[in-house]
Amino acid sequence: MIKIALLLAILLLAQSQSQIQPPQILYVSGSPTSIVRPASSSLVGGTLIYLKVTGHSPVASNNLVYVGTFPCIIPSDGVTDTFISCETSNSGSTANIYNQQVTLLTNGLSFTTISPDVVNYAYYSTPLLMEVYPTAGISGSNVNLWGYHRITDLGDGARNIGSVVKLSLGNDICSTFDISQGPILGNNLQPINCKQSTIQ
């Protein structure tokens, strides 16, 4: 009786494993709406990349993504039926690192991409903050952040902040930026002007 039960358990396990679809990354892109490859990340990470996938777990925490040897962090809402988005981590390098393969680990299985579905850690995708002025101020005052901002649609001077998610000064949000400015272009040395939030 025990042998029969053991045999049935083995058969059921084999059947359930045969029904698991192996993971596959169909492409890796730097854009959520179009195929842009190879994807490019800032050298210090913080860049979202998008994986068109099949055979993955629908639960974000059950998937792991690596760009080369660097973890790519999947947010809790970063998994859909067809895509996984993740945020690259710091490469620790000051020089470009090209052709980093992307590996997906899910359901006990893995898949690794080949070119062109790779990621380049690149200086040209890395923002560079050179100066913040004035160096002292009070809440509600204007602040300028001078540097290479590396975002192509940063703003147009009409309350459109483009791709900027948030600017912080310490623990304080720097808000109401890109209101009085003209267009701000990515990869150009220029200031972002913002207003330090009034502390409540």
Q: What is the phi-psi region of residue 179: left when phi exceeds 0, alpha when psi lies from -120 to 50, beta otherwise?
A: alpha
| Residue indicated by tokens 């623990």 | 171
Last residue of a domain, one of 93, 124, 155: 124
What are the counts of helices (DSSP H) followed by strands (DSSP E) for the chain? 1, 14
CA angle, corner 38, sides to 36 and 44, nearest 5? 105
User: What are the DSSP calls for 96-159, one per residue?
Assistant: -EEEEEEEEEETTEEEE--TTSEEEEEGGGS-EEEEEESSS--TT-EEEEEEE---TT-B-SSS
Q: Please give the tally of structural domains in the chain.
A: 2
pLDDT of 100:
98
- 6 in a structural domain: no
DSSP letter for 166, please: -
- 8 in a structural domain: no
What 3-state class would DSSP assign to 43? coil
Which residue, 80, 75, 68, is CA-closest to 112? 68
* Digit-coded pLDDT (tens) for 138-176: 777 888 888 887 766 666 656 555 666 667 777 777 775
My answer on whether 112 and 140 are in the same domain is no
- 1 in a structural domain: no
Q: Which residues form the domain of 155?
A: 127-196
- 153 in a structural domain: yes
- 145 in a structural domain: yes
* Digit-coded pLDDT (tens) for 9-30: 554 554 555 466 899 999 999 9
* CATH number of the domain that residue 44 is part of: 2.60.40.10
* Digit-coded pLDDT (tens) for 56-93: 999 999 999 999 999 999 999 999 999 999 999 999 99
